[in-house]
A and B are shown apart, each in its own frame.
Chain A
Amino acid sequence: MLEVRDISASYGKHCALDGVTLEVGHAEIVVILGANGAGKTTLLKVIAGLVPAGPGARITMNGRDLAGVPAHRIVEAGLALVPEGRGIFGDMTVRENLLLGAFPARARRSEAATLDMVLDLFPRLRERLAQVVRTMSGGEQQMVAVGRALMTSPEIVLLDEPSLGLAPIMCTELFTALARIRSTGVGVLLVEQNARLSLKVADRGYLIESGRIVGSGSAAALKDDPAVQRAYLGAGEVHTGHIDPT
């Protein structure tokens, strides 16, 4: 169970995040929707330890405090980030990428089983274990990226815009995989602009705007909300009046 309280962050004088609070449980998919520049990527980077959390922030994983812990230790606590731009080792093979995912001590014992699980999830990677990742298509690279994160045997996976630049059919395949990941008990925190597709697989969602959480609710409630459509399209103001607060 990941709990995040009062995260703030700024680049120079630009305030990227302002008091963000959210939580992600096991075996659920939670999506964060918001316009470009709303702070979604920064939020995931702060949680993963790539960007320092502002003062007063609390990030806990199963009650263990993670604020200020370096990124490579956060992985050991069971959090794995698939960053925007994929975070893969382009000059290395698929097999090397996946085995690097199993570098954390927590992942090593179950390495072989996890590898089997990942290759079942993305059968296309099984045929291409010896291929250098840089030479693969965008969709296949994204599978490697998600596979690498799963190899760390996380409890919670954070995904930053996994549909970025993918053809629609690839998106569908990827999101189906997310549902199967949830069924193994792993929690998923997803940042997406593909609202309809992500709300289809998600259990809950948050709306973020200018670094603040401005609404939240069940995926079903969000899906039918006209404000969501405007939100993902990046309209200036979002009215969240009739969305149930969680």
Chain B
Amino acid sequence: MLAAVIAVVFAALAAFPLVASGYHLALGISLLYFTVLATAWALFSGPTHYISLATAAFFGIGAYTTAVLTDFLPWPLVLFAAAVVGVVVALIVGLSTLRLSGIYFVIFSFGLAELIRQLVAWYEINIHGSVGRYIFAETTSEGIYWRLLALVVMVLGTGWLIRHSRLGLAVRVIGQDEAVARHCGIDTTRAKLALFAISAAFMTVTGAVMAPRWTYIDPAIAFNPMLSFEVVIMALFGGAGTLFGPLLGAVPLVLLFEVLIATFPNYFSIVLGGVFVLIVYGLPNGVIGLWQAKRTAHHVAMSPLAEMVTKFVWPRAAEHDAIHDAPVLQLVNMRKAFGGLVAVDDVSFALRRGEILGLIGPNGSGKTTALNLISGAQRADGGTITLASRLIALLPAHRIAQRGIARTFQLVRVLPDSSCLENVAAGIAFHAKPVWGPAAEDRARTLLSRVGLGDKTDMPAAQLTYIDQKRLELARALGLAPVVLLLDEWLAGLNPSELQVGIALVKMLREEGLTIVIVEHVMDAIRSLCDRCVVMNAGRLIAEGPPAAVLADREVIRAYLGEPDA
């Protein structure tokens, strides 16, 4: 039924040029090319929240590719060349800039468009000999329309594929919490880069297709910075977080611009600005937000087909061997300072396979920093960490996660806009032996029921209680099928009965062969869970041994209690 409707709509759109007048065909072309650009923009900027103003740069590059190559190459090759140029430029730019965040990226992307425009203009004047170029492509408005229509179908199809693949899940996780993404094993740079390049390719091809419309182009026409802004408005107006949002934004706004220019040519920019301000105030979630008045969760969407197609740009991590050696994890002379504050000071300890190690000490003694060093969230100033005799201290966090170290956070960190199922899927989909599709969904459901969330799979994580969020975080960590599990005050804030359930759960995980480090203040839990304890105070390791012995240690008591009466 849905397929039939889509086919009819598509056929009607395809037949449109046969009946349309010149004016209506031109309007149709505008609608289509803004739809492609806005959708392509939202492919990258929607999930990652990076506002890119580089649309004009890629569009212009595409237009110039046509202008230069159209005399030598047939159409399909020109378009292919444009896509390649777009991807190459996007990769170069992305590699160097995607570590910039927020406003830095916005201005950088805008600067990029201006820089390229200036360089092209300079080249054209001084080397090529004239500002503009004539494009004598043998094409008609109908041809452009049909090519754009094909592009619309392709960009929406690509968007669907990405959303249903691991790549799509990866960027949704990144957009909500980049640190969590890394600790799930997601190579965040690579994921952002892949999407940036895909989005750029669509923009350059659009530019290449549109170029013959002008017959004459110069840098000011091809690299019009207004284009970047218009595309941003359309995508945000429609709703950048959804696949069809940008389409819903592009159509009414293109029509509005058309009407404004025709009726109030002198007031165009004033009315445009006013409309823009109204959109920002009135529709913070876009047109599509009107439908979804209640904030609904991102539902995990796992299609093996989509994964098959997209895995070329997003390959799986290299598999690693199972770990049998003991000790599993070893820290030697770790040191980390923040300004004048030494948080971890020459700390060494080892973790044996299958044990629960308690890392205890007063607040601020450096326990969480130690966990951060192990999981790669922070880089040590000195010392080494080995996992099964392999050095991991200098690896980025996502590699450490892929090697089998999973963690929870002291202040619970879930993906608020994602369903519980998708939260757990984020843990399952990116480690060394990832699962995808129905199998992954089954596994996520199993993990959710295991932590007691079996009946809340579709609820957005933001709506869970604090305790349930902690459970969800544990399920996500278990999704990584870890060798070592780091629990940072996971039992804090539980009431006595919940505490018993939590302790039993952690015990069961050890029975299954997991090696666990717990940072805790709940002494009952430490006594009943830990095989050994390591005590830290003011960044230093002050005691090590079985819980009973360590908690009776004079120095430990003094660290907790303060100096005894002299």
Contact = CB atoms under 8 A, between A and B. Distances in A.
B362 interface: yes
Given A14-B466, A210-B495, A136 B561 contact: no
B363 interface: yes
Interface in B537-566: 538, 558-565
Contact of B466 (A11, A134, A172): A11
Interface of A: 11-14, 35-37, 134-138, 140-141, 161, 163-168, 171-172, 193-198, 200, 210, 229-230, 232-237
Given A164-B363, A195-B560, A197-B561, 15 more contacts: A14-B465, A37-B489, A37-B492, A135-B339, A136-B339, A141-B340, A163-B362, A165-B364, A166-B538, A168-B562, A200-B562, A229-B561, A232-B561, A236-B522, A236-B524
Most chain B C-beta atoms within 10 Å of own C-beta, residue among A11, A195, A234:
A234
B562 A165 contact: no
A237 B496 contact: yes
A193 B563 contact: no
B487 to A, nearest CB: 14
Contacts of A168: 538, 558-559, 562-563
Contacts of B343: 165
Contacts of B467: 14
Most chain A C-beta atoms within 10 Å of own C-beta, residue among B339, B562, B564:
B562
A67 B527 CA distance: 42
Most chain B C-beta atoms within 10 Å of own C-beta, residue among A163, A197, A198, A236:
A236
A137 B558 CA distance: 22
B560 A232 contact: yes
B466 A12 contact: yes
A20 B84 CA distance: 66
Contact of A138 (B341, B363, B523): B341
A165 B363 contact: yes
Contact of B538 (A13, A35, A167): A167
Contact of A136 (B340, B365, B499, B562): B340
Nearest to A234: B521
Nearest to A37: B493
A172 B563 contact: yes
19 contacts: A12-B465, A36-B489, A36-B492, A37-B489, A138-B340, A138-B341, A140-B340, A164-B363, A166-B538, A194-B560, A196-B561, A196-B562, A196-B564, A197-B562, A198-B562, A233-B523, A233-B560, A234-B521, A236-B522
Q: Shortest 9 CB-CB distances between A and B: which pairs?
A: A165-B364, A197-B562, A14-B466, A37-B493, A164-B364, A196-B561, A196-B562, A194-B562, A137-B340
A155 B560 CA distance: 30
B463 to A, nearest CB: 9
B340 A193 contact: no
A163 B364 CA distance: 9
A232 B363 CA distance: 12
Interface in B485-501: 489, 492-493, 495-496, 499
A200 B467 CA distance: 36
Contacts of A198: 562
Interface size class of B (residues with CB under 8 A): 20 to 34
Contacts, number: 95
A225 to B, nearest CB: 13
A136 B341 CA distance: 8
A36 B340 CA distance: 26
A111 B524 CA distance: 50
A135 B363 CA distance: 22
Interface secondary structure of B, over-half rule? loop
B562 A35 contact: no
A141 B364 CA distance: 14
Contacts of A194: 362, 560-562
Nearest to A230: B523
Nearest to A165: B364
Contacts of B565: 196, 200
A13 B522 contact: no
Interface string B349-384: 000000000000011111000000000000000000
Contacts of A135: 339-340
B522 A35 contact: yes
Nearest to A223: B565
Most chain B C-beta atoms within 10 Å of own C-beta, residue among A36, A134, A141, A172:
A36
B362 A193 contact: yes
Contacts of B341: 137-138, 141, 165
A23 B485 CA distance: 44
A240 to B, nearest CB: 16
Contacts of B495: 210
A97 B21 CA distance: 71
A36 B496 CA distance: 15
A237 B524 CA distance: 10
A134 B563 contact: no
Contacts of B521: 35-36, 233-234
Contacts of A197: 561-563
Contacts of B523: 230, 233-235
Contact of A195 (B363, B522, B562): B562
Nearest to B537: A168
B340 A171 contact: no
Contacts of B522: 35, 234-236
Nearest to A167: B538
A161 B363 contact: yes
A140 B340 CA distance: 10
Nearest to B466: A14
A196 B523 CA distance: 18
B562 A236 contact: no
Most chain B C-beta atoms within 10 Å of own C-beta, residue among A11, A229, A232:
A232
A135 B339 CA distance: 6
B496 A236 contact: yes
Nearest to A84: B363
Nearest to B564: A196
A12 B466 CA distance: 8
A163 to B, nearest CB: 8
Interface in B335-350: 339-341, 343
Nearest to A199: B562
A175 B357 CA distance: 33
A195 B364 contact: no
Contacts of A210: 495
Contacts of B362: 163, 193-194
A11 B489 CA distance: 18
B441 to A, nearest CB: 27
Nearest to A198: B562
Contact of A13 (B364, B465, B562, B564): B465
Most chain A C-beta atoms within 10 Å of own C-beta, residue among B339, B366, B524, B565:
B339
Contacts of B493: 14, 36-37
A229 B365 CA distance: 19
A238 B74 CA distance: 83
